[in-house]
Amino acid sequence: MRNPSTITVSLPPEIAEEFEQVRKAENRSRSEMIREALRTYFTFLHRFPEVRPTKSELTAIRRGRQAYARGKYAPLEHVFHDLATGGNKTRAKSPRKASSKR
């Protein structure tokens, strides 16, 4: 390694404890762990670049947030249940509209 730089990082106690547990279990140095985490982070950034939403997407997001604030949403468990069961719910047939063609 050429001229390594030293960086000091502060971590919350829970993260520091988990970091140490993983480091010891994998028999790795702190520097190795941090280097790998940074490499993974940088790779992720390049693979998934920031995408700016379009005007219509921002409008849809705003409407969704407003609906949520009004209480119009489905709990995640319901969404998963509907996905697992195909989401097909039976409903009464509506009468056919009369044709306007003559």
pLDDT, average across residues 13-42 = 94
Kindly indicate the confidence band of residue 1, based on its pLDDT and cuts at 50, 70 and 90: low
Give SS3 for 70: coil
Q: Tell me if 1 is assigned to some domain.
A: no
Q: Tell me if 33 is assigned to some domain.
A: yes
Q: Which tens digits make up the pLDDT trace of 40-71?
A: 998 887 877 788 999 999 999 999 999 999 99
Number of domains in the chain: 2
Q: Tell me if 36 is assigned to some domain.
A: yes
Kindly indicate the confidence band of residue 89, based on its pLDDT and cuts at 50, 70 and 90: low
Instruction: Classify 20 in phi/psi space as left (phi over 0), alpha (psi -120 to 50) or beta.
Output: alpha
Q: Tell me if 100 is assigned to some domain.
A: no
Residues 23 and 43 grouped into a single domain: yes
Q: Tell me if 3 is assigned to some domain.
A: no
Residues 59 and 78 grouped into a single domain: yes
Q: What is the pLDDT of residue 32?
A: 94
Q: Could you report how far apart the first and last alpha carbons of the chain are, in Å?
A: 85
Q: Tell me if 99 is assigned to some domain.
A: no
Q: What is the pLDDT of residue 63?
A: 96
